[in-house]
């Protein structure tokens, strides 16, 4: 490992966290809760809305469905 490479790794490891980090976590939390409620409600209807929107291979837990949907929706939050 070169000295320059070691300095870059050290700079990355010691830099301060993003100042807008809590806002990103708040947005993700709101999306996660929204999709969690939707995933729970989808268990009570005869048709499954997630399969209509996304191609999920099978039924998984409501938490993993909500996590997947929130992760897929995050980029659309930042689009103008």
For 58-78, the DSSP string reads S---HHHHHHHHHHHHHHHHS
> Any idea where the domains of the chain sit in the sequence?
21-77
The residue ranking higher by pLDDT, 21 or 3, is 21
Residue 50: per-residue pLDDT: 55
Residue 34: per-residue pLDDT: 95
């Amino acid at each position: 490992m070169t000295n320059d490479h070691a300095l870059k790794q050290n700079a990355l490891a010691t830099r301060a966290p993003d100042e807008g980090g809590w806002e990103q976590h708040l947005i993700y939390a709101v999306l996660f809760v929204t999709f969690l409620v939707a995933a729970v409600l989808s268990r009570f209807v005869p048709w499954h809305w997630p399969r209509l929107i996304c191609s999920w291979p099978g039924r998984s837990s409501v938490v993993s469905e909500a996590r997947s949907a929130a992760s897929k929706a995050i980029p659309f939050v930042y689009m103008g």
